[in-house]
Structure formats: structure tokens, C-alpha cells
A and B are shown apart, each in its own frame.
Chain A
């Protein structure tokens, strides 16, 4: 249990549970560069509820990764209000409210798989016995039992990324922020990992924010799809997906899937200026 979850559990009535996990209102972010300011995010408003699987989709430079970094307090916004679990992103980060999965696995090459996974637990001061127990549990979740003693270079790219997901899950955060975690993998492995991720999400009931630029990936995974466009980075459309739970890859052949994918594509087209 994270410190945040404990805090929430201590409050009777559980009214706080009804609060959105992430609330963003009037968010702007401007990078001051040498020649001209870059408007990375412009007037972004968004609410993410507990248990949601939200995808940010858009072309490169639309600010989807930046938006997630703001939520994670890896980037400070220029103006606007961001709340994570009802508190500021910085307070949420200090309370270890989220697990972050990066585009690259970012494993530490001098640590074995096991010790990569226990890294956040070591930092948080979890006792060794519990570290090992938690590591065993998350390794099972990502189907990597038996690889504890391997070093990262001995694993394939897909396995490395699964280790990084296990690492983010190890301290059991309520919120998972995933920045194109499968972007560097081939489509066959990506399909497989998407299905595994969906099963994982259903089992753990976590809130997931997922950045992607793949339309099928976004539609397949999400309960809510946030379509973004560049220059300035802004939200074009928010699509609540009514695809059933327990989806399998077959759902991509369905009529409803095609309709949602079409709406995403329309949004991307509307937002994209073809002048350049």
C-alpha cells in the first residue's frame, strides 16, 4: 500500500475515493527557446477517474509525453492547475503515488532483473524479505519467473520492457504512467504485450495513463482516448470507449472497434495542419 492509499484508507466514508485520480484544468506549458517560445501545451482540461485506462494519442510534438511528465512532476507547467489524488503533482511524487514506465526500459545494467525490480523498494526502505516477496509477485504478473538472476543485456527488448513494468508495479502504486512503453518493439510482440497489459490492468484495477501514437493500440486498450494535436499541443477530442471489458485481440475485427478507430482518425486529421 502506498502512503497515499494508506492516507485515503484512514479517512472514513471513503468520500475521497470519488475524487478523480488526475484533474487538469487550464494547463499551459511554454518552453522558452533561443529563437521563439514553443507552446508545448495550450489550455488542456482533463479528468481521469479511478480505474480508467486513458490513452493520449497524437502525432509527434503534440505534447502527449509532456502532459504526462507534468502529471508526474518531471516537468513544471507554465500556468494552470494539476491535481493528482487531490494534491499537487510534487506532493504526489513525494508520496510515491505513481509508477512510471519510460519509452526505453531504463534498466540499470549492473543490476540483475531481481535487483532492478527491487530498486524502488530499496529506495523506499522496504525490508529485504518483503522486497523479495513483492518482486516474486510482480515477476509472476509479467510472466518472467525464473529470470531473477539474469542481467538486462541477456534479455530481449520485450522482456526488458516487461521488467520495467514489473519494476513500476513492485511498490503497488494506484496510478501507472506509461510513456509509449512498447514503441520500440515490433508489432507481433507489441500485440502480445498489449493483451498482457490489459489482463494485468483488469486484475490489479489500477488507473493507467498510456501514451501512444498507434490508433489500434489506443482503441484496443483504452476506456478513454484523448486525441491531441500539435502546435500548440492541445486536446482535440476525448472519446469514451464503450467496448466491453475482457477484450481480446479479436475485438479489433468488430464493427464498433472500427467506428471508434475512425473517430480517432478523424480527430487526428482535424487537428493536423497540413500546411507544412
Chain B
């Protein structure tokens, strides 16, 4: 047997049918569904007289359009209400388990999958959402699909796929204090570019990645798509198994021990071949802040807004000019001089307990700046919300002037009422700073939870390393 990377092992283990010159049919172990990209898939299925083949391997949750406060009241947004009702109806008709918005286990699809143990090493996982790459942190092959493919998986529990290329991303050395998983992935995207991973699946390795918690690994894998890769993965190890043990869908007792033995075999073989290798020295990492309109437009917190004239490629120069115009930023402005209107801590990238703990550590005993219009904390799931409240994190945030909300995608995508108004500027722990992402005309700067928390306190970006707070647990 040739030495294989994890991606190929999982691929091979899921091959249902293969013919030269055609996409392979691969089996899907877990299909995650949310209200945003599924209604047309369910209605297409119904129109064709087809059934959901494996409702028992499909899990639905309401996350994109749900309100983050007053959830017990009737929805004001009638279009959102209709969409949520459609998911409810579709699940009832097909037998797909649904975590509806009143469920105590509700949360962002990529947060509850791992939290409940639905996500397990060696699996194939798909969802009509590009941030499905998150689940790769467990050594799964997980990627986002379109609605037609959602319908395909509902009907066949398989996906027709061409094999991707592989890229090994090694982050060696030691993670400096104040630098978190978010800074690592933003640095990688900044170096590779937002299309650098097109056609590839990333595998993250090296001591810095090994040293990350599962939460940190999920943050890194989550933004693989922002580097153009459909999937990102980390080989499962003791950190993975320790995280998984005892979660609701994870086998117990001897079954767990047996499962771990199988999961261990999923890691890439030593000496496995990759199509590309990208090396990053962990010692050079610094807290990151995006200045433009895609996640690759990013710099160190000690940096300045770049001068478009400094780009040699005319295409990059024009893109930078346009981005600075949209962002209303002058070239040469120090990043730490950028003043903010709102701060958002949440999203499938950075809304887990560790993220909230780190942000709370930063704001404990302090208060958000008077100049700030709003500071929001939106836990990734209701389970996380309860756990955070047990530790008193909600009290720390509230005392510091943050709003403490219910779980959902919230201001990352602004499909509910949590919208960043036009012309306003946010520090956000989410994943996309595209034009209009958080609201039409909104200006987004992507940062880590600690950087967002510190920016909320000061009203502008600050170098968190000067505050002496580490990014580890």
C-alpha cells in the first residue's frame, strides 16, 4: 500500500463507484442541513418523487435566520419565519432529526456537530455551507456543497466528486503569546492568497497546529475556504480523542476504546506525498487585522494600511484601491488608529467556549469604550451559552458593557436583525469581510476574539501582546 495522506485514506474508504474519466461516487457519513440552503433541495426531491435515503444520517438545525434575542416571541421577519417553517415541515415529512430554534441543543451547524459528537474522525461530512470545512479539525473530510448537491445527498447519501489535490500546510515552532488560531489562519490566507488553495484540500500540521486545542483547530479549518480550499483537515490525536469522549453521539466504554484505535489509523502516513507543501514559521506570527474586502487583505496589528501603489501586480493594485475606497481608509494609516463603531464576537469561526473565555479574560474588570455603539457576544450554541454562564462569563461581558445573546450565525451574515449599518465599521471574529457581508455598506475588520475584545475596550485596534494575555487555555 502506498503511503497516503489522510485525505486519500478517507476518500478510498468511502468509494462507492469509480470509473476512469468520471467523478467518483463517494458515501457521505453525515449530512448537515440548515434553513438557508435546503428548501429548494427538499422541494426538488419531492417534485421528483424521491425520498430522503438516510434521514438517520442527516441532521438539521436552524441557525442562519434565527433571532438572538426574544426567541420565545413570534418572529417579526415573516420571510425568515416562512423559511424556518419550511425546514420544520421538511424534517417532519422526511424524518430528518431537527434541532429547532427552541431546542436547548440549538446552535450554529458547525458548532453543534462537534459539540454533540456527531462529527467523528474518518467521516465524510457535507453541508450546504462553505464553512463545513470546520469539521476537518477532527480528521474528517468535510466540505461545503451547493443546493443541487444537497438534494443529491438527500436522495442517494452519496456525492459525485472529482478528487482534489492535496496541500500540506506546516506551521512549525512555537505559537507566540497573544497569537491565536485566528491569527494563524489569517496569516496563511494572507500569504497564499484567497485563491491559493483552489482545487486543493489543506492538511494542517506542525507543532503549532498540534499544540492547538480542538476549538483552535476548528477555527483554522473553518477558514480553509477563505484560502480557496474546499476542505481543511488536522490528523486526529490525543487532543481529539479527549475532546470527543463522553459527547452524546460518541460511543461509550469499550466501544470508545475500539473507535479510538480505528481513528488513529486515519492520520496521514509518514512520508505521504502531497501535491504542494507550504511552510510557515510559528515564531514569526503576530496578531492579524484585515484592512480590505477579502480575508487575504490582512496585516500584522503593528502594520499600516497598505498603499495600493506598493503592489506590483496591476490587478492587486486596482483591487486594493477599490477596497480602501469601500473601507474608507487612507494608505499608511496605522492599524491601531482605526476607530470602530461596533464589535461582534461570534460566528462558526470564533464562538466556542475557549473563544469566549479568552475574550472575557481581556475585558474582565474593564468597560467598552464610550465611542462604541454596540458590543455583541453571540455564543455558537445554546450548550456553550449555558456552559459560559456557569463560569460567569456572561456577567463579565455584561459588566463590561457587552450584550449577551442567544446562539446563531447573527452578525457574521446579518440574515437576522443583527446587522452592521451602512458606513459603520466593525471588529468582528467572523470569517468574511466581503463588501456588504455584515450589512449593506458595512465595513468589516476580521480579528481574533482577544483582539476584538481589546478593540472594544479601547474603541480602536490595539496590540493584544502588550496586555500580557496569552492565547492559550
Tell me if chain B binds chain A. Answer: no
Please give the residue numbers on chain B whose beta carbons come within 8 Å of chain A beta carbons, in ascending order: none
